[in-house]
Structure 1
Amino acid sequence: MVVQNPKMPAAEIGNPYGKPPKMSTGQTVRTFIYNPETGAFMGRTASSWGKIGLFYLIFYGVLAALVAICFWGFYQTVDPRTPTWQLERSLIGTNPGLGFRPLPPAENVESTLIWYKGTDPGNFRHWIKSLEQFLQQYKTPGTRPGLGANIANCDYDQPPKRGQVCNVDVMKFAPCNQENQFNYHKASPCVFLKLNKIYGWRPEFYNETNKLPEKMPESLKRYIRSIPEKQRNTIWVSCEGENPADQENIGPIDIIPPHQGFPGYYYPYENAEGYLSPLVAVHFRRPRTGILINVECKAWARNIIHSRNDKLGSVHFELMID
């Protein structure tokens, strides 16, 4: 018969329900890291760590396999170059928007104002640099291996062959080129326009001279009537002052290249390797300085609807040269 010493703690005589002996913080940490009595490391024995490690290895392995199978099944139903939903069935729709470059600085992302001092090179440096960056991909098309043969020099008599895309030669945009500082130093700046890309969209051209829209500028109508019929398969572009006062101050405008728009042989866009959207440069030759000029440019085709509020088929920006 064992007689308990009333002065001896219960834990010392093997009572599992007794209060454990007090330990210092250092002893507690050392015991947690490794307990020599039980052989536990970080609260678990080697066999316990092995079991829980094996469980999580199997669990996450099965989870990763299920995710991989789901992704594999998803990509079997998706073409990386052809969208599932196109034209009327897509969120983009069938009416392209018109964009302009250069854009204002990032801190004025909501602005559409091109404003600079024509006598201060440092002041208009942003606009030139923005255009240089935008046109860089047009200056070095086909630099990736295998793309050179994919790019063709197209014309109205020489459309691209199947699998080819048409080159956009920005060297033909003089005086709207980098070597000429895009004419910003002469207070007669150039602004570049391009249509948004819509997969599979085919323009319906205004190529019948007796069916040109009433709202189309008369100068553009005269140009369309003066060119050969084969060159009329073009998405025409016009730019003018938005209001009567703007039309007085905007001065003469040149559309470059001289075909006055986006040639039809660039369409439809089908996400072909190396495709670049065609460009048009708008050269404001003698805009009045010191006055804010509202500019509106439009793209003309039978299936392009113009809407200022929805920014469809046209683009608005302001020009001010001090």
Structure 2
Amino acid sequence: MPAQNKDDGGWKKFLWNSETKEFLGRTGGSWSKILLFYLIFYGFLAGIFIGTIQVLLLTLSDLKPTWQDRVAPPGLSHHPRLDKAELMFSPDSIETYLEYTKAMREFLSQYYVEKQDDAMQFEDCGDQPQDYKNRGDLESDIGVRKACRFSRAWLGPCSGIDDRHFGFGIGKPCVIVKLNRIVNFRPRPPTSNETIPEEAQHKVQPNVIPMHCTNKKEEDAGKLGEVKYYGIGEGFPLQYYPYYGKKLHGHYLQPLVAIQFVNITLNTEIRFECKVFGENIYYNDKDRYQGRFDVKIAFKS
């Protein structure tokens, strides 16, 4: 018992020593100094952190990403989006393409006419290819910019207006294609036919970025059948560019191109590739969506 009392007394004395006025081995003056030191130390660290963040924010723009090198411009994408880049269906079985057509209807819902009624946000830019629609510099004080209307009726039988199944139910499937949005990017049409396949050279015209789809493998030549294109100039018209970003162009609608395979070979897997052509459009074999994409399609009877 005496030893236990001695230990208890030692512990209590360390916690508070009434003789030396020490708490946990330190006097009030000592605690004040060490607390002041850590207050200044961590305050200095916090100041450095806040200062670097403020300097970083000064280099960023609210209107345009500082760095846009994640994907080299521009990316070409399609709807329906496919996890395995495979489009497998049978016209006699709605279950095989129901997911595709549902995704296409959801995507095109933003192109409904009634959603483009606001004259403060939208304007008519014509149904023929025209030059860039300049709405001022990105950093100017103009504020929110108008966007060109795009009627899904221009996509013909691939619009989903008359055929809710986008041709899948009759063996003539459609795919909707778009160029990805890049702030202040102006795609330039090709100025010559040197880099364009011979079968696509007739598509070169002013004020439009042409697109062409064909079989990717030589052994599939002729199996893809006729491919029809719908949209303004069967490509991406320049009047829809540039895009001013979400803050100034949150209601922006990209121009679309619809492709339809009207007599694809039955019971055969075919990989087709679509590419856009332009002076500042590039391709990379490591990136399947840089300026192009390819999809495997199989029409089973």
> What TM-score do you get using the length of structure 1 for normalisation?
0.67
Point out where structure 1 has 5 or more consecutive residues left out of the alignment: 1-7, 13-17, 21-50, 225-230
The amino acid of 2:244's aligned partner reads E
Matching residue's letter, 2:159: N
Summarize the Cα distance change of 1:138–1:75 in structure 2 as closer, same or farther, 3 Å threshold: farther
Which residue of the partner structure matches residue 257 of structure 1?
231
Q: Does 1:188 align with 2:193?
A: no
Q: Partners in 1 of 2:232 and 2:226 — Cα distance?
A: 14
Q: How does 1:154-303 map to 2 (within 5 A)?
A: 154-155=125-126, 156=129, 160=133, 162=135, 163-179=145-161, 180-206=164-190, 211-213=192-194, 215-218=196-199, 220-224=200-204, 232-257=206-231, 259-271=233-245, 272-274=248-250, 275-303=252-280
Is the deviation greater in 241-250 or in 276-285? 241-250
In 1, Cα distance between equivalents of 2:100 and 2:165? 9
The correspondence of residues 1-322 of structure 1 with structure 2, limited to 5 A, is: 9=2, 18-19=6-7, 70-85=52-67, 90-93=69-72, 95-104=73-82, 109=83, 111-139=84-112, 149-155=120-126, 156=129, 160=133, 162=135, 163-179=145-161, 180-206=164-190, 211-213=192-194, 215-218=196-199, 220-224=200-204, 232-257=206-231, 259-271=233-245, 272-274=248-250, 275-311=252-288, 312-322=290-300
How much does 1:66 deviate?
7.0
The alpha-carbon distance between structure 1 residues 157 and 251, as it changes in their structure 2 partners (threshold 3 A), is closer
d(CA) in 2 for partners of 1:119 and 1:58?
76
CA distance in structure 1 between the partners assigned to 2:50 and 2:96 by the alignment: 53
CA distance in 1, matches of 2:115, 2:43: 42
1:280 alignment partner AA: V
The residue type equivalent to 1:318 in the other structure is K
Q: Is the 8 A contact 2:196 2:277 kept in 1?
A: no
Sequence identity, in percent? Answer: 27
Larger CA Rg, structure 1 vs 2: 1
Specify the code of the residue in structure 2 equivalent to 1:273: H
How far, CA to CA, are the matches of 1:200 and 1:69 in structure 2? 30
Distance in 2 (alpha carbons) for counterparts of 1:273 and 1:280 = 21
State the secondary structure of the residue aligned to 1:175.
helix
Give the paired residue count: 265
Residue pair 2:243, 2:249 contacting (<8 A) in 1 also: no
SS at match of 1:249: coil
| 3-state secondary structure, aligned to 2:272 | strand
Amino acid at match of 1:177: S
Residues in 2 aligned to 1:157 and 1:204: alpha-carbon distance in whole angstroms: 13
Following TM superposition, by how much is the alpha carbon of 1:317 offset from its aligned partner in structure 2, in angstroms? 0.8
AA matched with 1:130 = A
- Please report how far the alpha carbon of residue 178 of structure 1 lies from its aligned counterpart in structure 2 after TM superposition: 2.9
Q: Which amino acid aligns with 2:201?
A: K
Question: CA 1:166 to 1:217, structure 2 compared with 1: closer, same or farther past 3 Å?
Answer: farther
Letter in 1 for 2:275: K
CA distance in 2, matches of 1:258, 1:117: 30
TM-score normalised according to structure 2 size = 0.71
